[in-house]
Amino acid sequence: MKLMDTGTVDIIQVNYSALETDAADRVLPMAMDKGIAVNINRPFMNGDYFSLVKGHELPEWAADFDCESWAQFSVKYILSHPAVNCAITETSNAKHAIDNIGGGFGRMPDEGERKRIKAHLDGLSG
């Protein structure tokens, strides 16, 4: 945040997801206010996200914002934040890469749906 305050950066990269939301409190709003682009890394928390959702059905209401997989559920949550410009997904599997890219297409969740995504994932994590 100190570096953003200097005006010397055009872009930052931070961790952010529905399960890692600390950046949303101060970092993302500050970047948006200062016109600094934001890349998000660790959208799947180095794979921990998939361990959490494994064995659970994607909620039916995810289809309301054109979401077809758990990977897209996370990517759409991230990309729908108004400060976010890019999500860097981590995979070496071509099928997974195509699925991840799908999270950038179709309707994005609105603020109410974003809250619902977070609450749903929080419920899975206990």
Q: Where are the domains of the chain?
A: 10-120
Residue 78's SS3 state is helix
Q: What is the pLDDT of residues 53-97, one digit of tens each?
A: 999 999 999 999 999 999 999 999 999 999 999 999 988 899 999
Domain 10-120: assigned CATH number? 3.20.20.100
**Mean pLDDT over residues 112-126, rounded?**
93
Q: The dihedral of CA 17, 29, 123, 105: what is its sign? A: negative
Nearest residue to 102 (alpha-carbon basis) of 82, 78, 73: 73
Is the pTM value of this prediction over 0.85? yes
What φ, ψ does residue 12 adopt, rounded to 5°?
A: -130, 160
Band of residue 7 on the pLDDT scale cut at 50, 70, 90:
confident
Percentage of residues of the chain with pLDDT beyond 70: 99
Reported as a pLDDT band with limits 50, 70 and 90, residue 122 is very high
Q: Name every residue whose Cβ is closer than 8 Å to that of residue 9 and which is 6 or more positions away in sequence.
A: 3, 36
Tell me what the pLDDT averaged over the chain comes to.
95
What is the reported pLDDT for 40? 97
